[in-house]
């Protein structure tokens, strides 16, 4: 599934709004041809033909057309923005839900800054694509087609002369697209690394100050920041290489119109009013050509954002968080039977090897060992934060893997090594694991 089909899965629910928005874009594109045609008629009928009585009706129609066009454009902009915001709302929900489903192994190997980049910058790039880029692409295509058709009704030779620059613009946009895609992906990766570095520094600021490592951290930040700047400068270099040529070719349309059109007027092939109307249509031809480079940048930014978000959403947790309704009464008989464990990204380094012991209900077991010897990992196997890579962990004589994870963890109390408080009340922090706790329970715990 490509990125466009994937994001449509989030916008499909609002397809009625998308449909009416597309209809309004179509109406707005056709309305655009009215005023240029009337400007030509004013020259031919009113100024040259002397039909003064037509001036007021023409002006009234032009004013009314401008007002209607403004209302129509405002309406479909609001519609597409609404679709973008609503689609992003559902996408963020799915992303946050997926984060809750993923296990320790994922967070061990994914930077916090990377996750934050996906939840903020990447999602905004997707919103921008749905809310703005989509209708602008459709708008530009319609502007181009209506302009070409309207121009051809005035003068086929002059229209052909205008379209001579189109192949060159097409080639440039294709080259720019190929250059821009890897650059925007690199920007996204660099931003993720910068985010991670800043997040770690803020979280560990007490350690930094305790060891007076401020200068080192500043120097490290400068390296990451400089890398992010260089990646953005590479993007700017791509734009500066191609956008001036695209702008110049688009700007040459006016010159072609005046030169070739002027010759056609002199030779009485078209009227002066036709040339004025034709020149007004140049904007409709010019605008899509000028926008093509910017829209390519936005599409590539959208594609780079989708890659990382889809990777996260498609990640399958190694431990399934099923939601079985059956209740389990666990007594607390824990036994390790020849348990071994290694992390998925380092299978050659055994953290635990052939661990066998038993703990009966009511017993207090002390586990001793040096830092990094696997004490925390061992206890994490009981609550299935990880699964052993060999052997088995038995709870009441039953393999821990046979219990639904949520039900198993509801019967286990854990005091983590790292003290962490949520940005909430003291009461809610104390009762976090038991949201139905009464006041007496909270007072007893505190």
Q: What is the pLDDT of residue 420?
A: 61
CB 419 within 8 A of CB 339: no
Shared-domain flag, residues 261 and 351: no
Does some domain include residue 328?
A: no
Query: By the 8 A CB rule, do 164 and 302 touch?
Result: no
Q: Give the separation between CA 166 and CA 280, rounded to whole angstroms.
A: 18
Total H helices, total E strands in the chain: 17, 4
User: In this structure, are residues 158 and 257 in contact, taking their beta carbons and an 8 Å threshold?
Assistant: yes
Residue, of 152 and 195, whose pLDDT is higher: 152
Number of C-beta neighbours around residue 351 at 10 A: 17
**Is this model's pTM higher than 0.85 or not?**
no
The rounded percent of the chain whose pLDDT value lies above 90 is 21
pLDDT reading at 417 higher than 80: no
Long-range contacts of 236-244 (CB under 8 A, 24+ apart): 238/176, 238/179, 238/180, 238/183, 239/293, 239/297, 241/176, 241/179, 242/172, 242/173, 242/175, 242/176, 242/179, 242/293, 243/176, 243/293, 243/294
From 391, 417, 422, 184, select the one nearest 303 (Cα to Cα). Answer: 184
Contact 188, 117 (CB under 8 A): yes
Q: Do the domain assignments include residue 399?
A: yes
Instruction: Give CA separation, 226 vs 219, 299, 381, in Å.
Output: 10, 25, 42
How many domains does one find in the chain?
2
Q: How confident is the model at residue 133 (pLDDT cuts 50, 70, 90)?
A: very high
Whether residues 211 and 347 share a domain: the answer is no
Q: Rounded to whole angstroms, how far apart are CA atoms 332 and 329?
A: 9
419 pLDDT more than 80: no
Please state, in angstroms and rounded to a whole number, the distance separating the CA atoms of residues 179 and 235: 9
- For residues 105 and 331, give the distance between their C-alpha atoms in angstroms, rounded to a whole number: 28
Q: Which of 283, 313, 343 is where one domain is finished?
A: 313
Give the end-to-end CA distance of the chain in Å, rounded to a whole number: 52
Residues 347 and 284 in one domain: no
The domain boundary residue, chosen from 313, 343, 376 = 313
What is the C-alpha separation between 318 and 419, in angstroms, rounded? 26
Query: How many degrees, rounded to 5, is the angle at CA 317 between CA 314 and CA 323?
Result: 110
Give the position of tokens 């008629």. Answer: 41
The 10 Å Cβ neighbour count of residue 205 is: 12
Task: Give per-residue pLDDT as tens, 43-100.
Answer: 888 888 888 888 889 899 999 999 999 999 999 999 999 999 999 999 999 999 998 8
Could you tell me the CATH number of the domain that includes residue 364? 3.40.50.300
Among all chains, which residue has been given the structure tokens 């350690």? Answer: 207
111-125, 167-181, 316-330 — which one is most confidently predicted on average? 111-125
Residue pair 217/208 in contact by the 8 Å Cβ criterion: yes
Give the helix ranges, DSSP H, for 155-271. Answer: 156-163, 166-203, 205-210, 214-266
Residue 131 located in a structural domain: yes
Is the four-CA dihedral 177, 179, 184, 185 of positive or negative sign? positive
Segment among 43-47, 178-182, 439-443 with least mean pLDDT: 439-443
Q: Domain residues for 357?
A: 334-445
Q: Which of 313, 348, 369 is the last residue of a domain?
A: 313
Average pLDDT across the chain, whole number:
84
Indicate the helix (H) or strand (E) that contains 134: helix 134-154
- Check if the beta carbon of residue 158 is closer than 8 Å to that of residue 150: no
Instruction: Assign residue 82 the CATH number of its domain.
Output: 1.20.1560.10
Token pair listed for 67: 């007002």
**Nearest CA-CA partner of 119 in 99, 136, 139:** 99
368 & 419 share domain: yes
Same domain, 343 and 307: no
**21 and 128 fall within a common domain:** yes
Are the CB atoms for 201 and 246 separated by under 8 Å? no
The candidate with the shortest Cα–Cα distance to 297, out of 403, 179, 199, 408, is 179
Cα 95 from Cα 118, distance rounded (Å): 9
Residue 320 lies in a domain: no
Q: Considering the domain boundaries, does residue 359 fall inside one? A: yes
Tell me whether residue 420 is in a domain: yes
Q: Are residues 53 and 130 in the same domain?
A: yes
Q: Tell me whether residue 326 is in a domain.
A: no
List the structure tokens of 408.
Answer: 């198993």
Looking at the fold, whether 289 and 349 belong to one and the same domain comes out as no
Residue 324 falls inside a structural domain: no
339: Cβ contacts below 8 Å, ≥ 6 apart: 352, 354, 355, 356, 378, 381, 388, 390, 391, 392, 393
Domain check: are 306 and 339 in the same one? no
| pLDDT-derived band at 289, boundaries 50, 70, 90 | confident
In angstroms, the CA 162 to CA 150 distance is 13
Q: Is residue 207 scored above 90 in pLDDT?
A: no
Residues 201 and 345 in one domain: no
Helix or strand (DSSP H, E) at 421: none
Same domain? 159 vs 284: yes
Let me know whether 285 and 350 are in one domain: no
Q: Which range among 235-244, 357-366, 412-421 shows the weakest confidence by mean pLDDT?
A: 412-421
Least confident of 135-139, 208-212, 257-261, 304-308: 208-212
Whether pLDDT at 434 is above 70: no
SS3 436: coil
């Amino acid at each position: 599934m490509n990125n466009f089909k994937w994001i449509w899965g989030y916008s499909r629910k609002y397809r009625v709004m998308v449909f009416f928005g597309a209809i309004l874009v179509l109406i707005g594109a056709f309305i655009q041809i009215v005023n240029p045609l009337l400007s030509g008629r004013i020259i031919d009928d009113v100024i040259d033909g002397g039909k003064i009585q037509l001036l007021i009706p023409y002006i009234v129609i032009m004013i009314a057309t401008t007002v209607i066009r403004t209302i129509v454009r405002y309406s479909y902009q609001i519609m597409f923005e609404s679709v973008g915001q609503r689609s992003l709302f559902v996408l963020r929900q799915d992303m946050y839900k997926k984060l809750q489903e993923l296990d320790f192994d994922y967070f061990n190997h994914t930077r916090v800054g990377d996750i934050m980049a996906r939840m903020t910058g990447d999602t905004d790039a997707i919103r921008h694509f749905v809310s703005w880029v989509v209708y602008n692409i459709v708008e530009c295509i319609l502007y181009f087609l209506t302009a070409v058709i309207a121009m051809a009704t005035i003068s086929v030779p002059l229209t052909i002369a205008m379209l001579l620059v189109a192949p060159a613009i097409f080639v440039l946009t294709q080259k720019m697209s190929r250059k821009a895609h890897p650059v925007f992906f690199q920007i996204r990766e660099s931003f993720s690394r910068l985010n991670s570095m800043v997040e770690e520094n803020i979280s560990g600021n007490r350690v930094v100050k305790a060891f007076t490592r401020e200068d080192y951290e500043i120097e490290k930040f400068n390296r990451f920041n400089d890398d992010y700047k260089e990646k953005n400068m590479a993007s700017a270099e791509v734009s500066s290489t191609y956008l001036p040529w695209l702008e110049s070719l688009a700007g040459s349309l006016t010159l072609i119109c005046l030169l070739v059109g002027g010759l056609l007027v002199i030779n009485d092939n078209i009227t002066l009013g036709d040339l004025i109307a034709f020149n007004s249509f140049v904007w409709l031809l010019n605008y899509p050509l000028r926008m093509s480079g910017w829209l390519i940048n936005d599409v590539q930014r959208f594609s780079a954002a989708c890659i990382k978000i889809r990777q996260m959403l498609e990640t399958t947790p190694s431990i399934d968080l099923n939601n079985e309704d059956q209740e389990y009464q666990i007594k607390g008989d824990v036994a390790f039977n020849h348990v071994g464990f290694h992390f998925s990204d380092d299978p050659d380094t055994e953290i635990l090897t052939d661990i066998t012991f038993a703990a009966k209900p009511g017993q207090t077991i002390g586990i001793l060992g040096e830092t990094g010897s696997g004490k925390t990992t061992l206890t994490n196997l009981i609550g299935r934060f990880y699964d052993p890579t060999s052997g088995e962990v038995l709870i009441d004589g039953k393999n821990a893997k046979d219990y639904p994870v949520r039900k198993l963890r509801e019967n286990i109390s854990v005091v983590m090594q790292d003290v962490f408080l949520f940005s909430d009340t003291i009461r809610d922090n104390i009762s976090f694991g038991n949201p139905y706790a009464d006041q007496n329970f909270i007072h007893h715990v505190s």
